[in-house]
A and B are shown apart, each in its own frame.
Chain A
Amino acid sequence: GQQVMQIPQYQHVQEGEDFTTYCNSSTTLSNIQWYKQRPGGHPVFLIQLVKSGEVKKQKRLTFQFGEAKKNSSLHITATQTTDVGTYFCAGPRLENEKLTFGTGTRLTIIP
């Protein structure tokens, strides 16, 4: 079945360093969404990308959708302690358009 994988599974960075998580789907996606889940919290929508090769920025966060619409990335510049959490990508399933979430990347910050 459709799989959405993310790497790395965990990332520990010094505050101020950059962070990138990569999302790869086994099938072409009509769109990709990114969510952030703080420890003990629930997923919070960050952004949706629809077009092939699309790049969107939100302050220190840069999101990219691959040309083949099978992969995506989230890059955070100069991480801060507020960036701590697990970042999930999610794409619609082929058979019913319902969201399949990636495996997530858990980011921890070393002050």
Chain B
Amino acid sequence: ETGVTQSPTHLIKTRGQQVTLRCSSQSGHNTVSWYQQALGQGPQFIFQYYREEENGRGNFPPRFSGLQFPNYSSELNVNALELDDSALYLCASSRRPERDTQYFGPGTRLTVL
């Protein structure tokens, strides 16, 4: 176990709704990265938070947003859900923002109907 936790485990939403996913990083880690993993594909980088600031973003639209709190836990918010947002959302914590090992949480399986 990595010590990274995510909630909820599974979620079902309908198109147009909003969702918030949560992640608690491993003790001693100040960096959280979020990834989207569609079925049968590799994780795609969404964004990263380092010391409560966004520190890099992948090719995702602005309706994907996030937060990091003083205890380094993090949230991923997705507005105006689309069917293609159905995926496994993974958060990963690390000790520093660059070139460091990513410790993944178990993920949240989001289904958009």
Partner-B contacts on A (CB < 8 A)? 30-31, 33, 35, 41-45, 48, 88, 90, 92-93, 96-104
Q: Mark B16-55, 1 if CB is under 8 A from A, else 0.
A: 0000000000000000010100000111110010000000
Partner-A contacts on B (CB < 8 A)? 2, 33, 35, 41-45, 48, 56, 58, 88, 90, 92, 97-99, 101-107
A-B contact pairs, 11 of them (CB 8 A): A35-B102, A42-B90, A43-B90, A44-B2, A48-B101, A90-B42, A97-B99, A98-B33, A98-B48, A98-B58, A99-B33
Residue among B33, B45, B97, B103 with the highest chain A CB neighbour number at 10 A: B45
Contact A88 B101 (CB under 8 A): no
| B15 smallest CB distance to A (angstroms) | 26
* The 10 residue pairs across chains A and B that have the minimum distance between CB atoms: A101-B42, A97-B98, A96-B56, A42-B104, A98-B56, A101-B43, A45-B101, A43-B104, A104-B42, A98-B45
